[in-house]
Amino acid sequence: MQHWMEWAVAFFLLLGGSFVLIGSIGLIRMPDFFMRLHGPTKATTLGMGGILLGSIFYFSMSPETISVHELLITLFLLITAPVSAHMLIKTALHHRLKALERTLGVSELESRQMNLSAQANRSKSTDP
């Protein structure tokens, strides 16, 4: 086991861990749902990336094996994170969650929510 490899593993694990931690802190600290969403969607992707890089280095240390599974995890994480964020925020729109009062452009949000519920009512009345 080379010495510098251990340093690299430790560095990436700490980097990733701290980003995941910061994302979770954001989840607690932010005042409303829409702002809370920012921490987990962003800080966490780099955090997971760091942890997975650490894992690649750690499992590639023995001479004959090389581990690249983790790249796939990163890829799927990058694809799915924005989709789940979009699902969550869209659900918030449908549930008419209140945004923080000083949020700019709330009128746009509210008109959009009215629109959505009007659409839902229309489709309900047309259903047999």
Partner 1 sequence: MRMKPRFRWLPTPYRSLLLFIIWLLLNQSVAPFHLFFGLLLALVIPYICYRFRDPQPLIERPLLALRYILRVIADIITANAEVAILILGPLHKLQPAFVMVPLDLEHNLPLTILAGTVSMTPGTVSADIYPCVEHLAADAPIPQRWLLIHVLNLENEAELIATIKQRYEAPLKEIFKC
Tokens 């955090």, located at residue: 47
Nearest CB to partner 1, comparing residues 90 and 96: 90
Minimum Å distance from CB 117 to partner 1? 13
Q: For the beta carbon of residue 70, count every other beta carbon within 10 angstroms.
A: 20
- Encoded one letter per residue, x for contact with partner 1 by CB under 8 A and - for no contact, window 68-107 reads xx-xx--x--xx-xxx-xx--xx--x-----xx-xxxxx-
Tokens 């969650």, located at residue: 97
Nearest CB to partner 1, comparing residues 31 and 96: 31
Q: Report the alpha-carbon angle 108-119-107, nearest 5.
A: 10
Does residue 54 interact with partner 1 by CB under 8 A? no
- Closest by alpha carbon to 97, among 107, 89, 86? 89
Asked if residues 83 and 41 have their Cβ atoms less than 8 Å apart, the reply is no
Query: Interface residues with partner 1 (CB under 8 A)?
Result: 19, 22-23, 25-26, 29-32, 34-35, 37-39, 41-43, 45-47, 66-69, 71-72, 75, 78-79, 81-83, 85-86, 89-90, 93, 99-100, 102-106, 108-109, 112, 115, 119
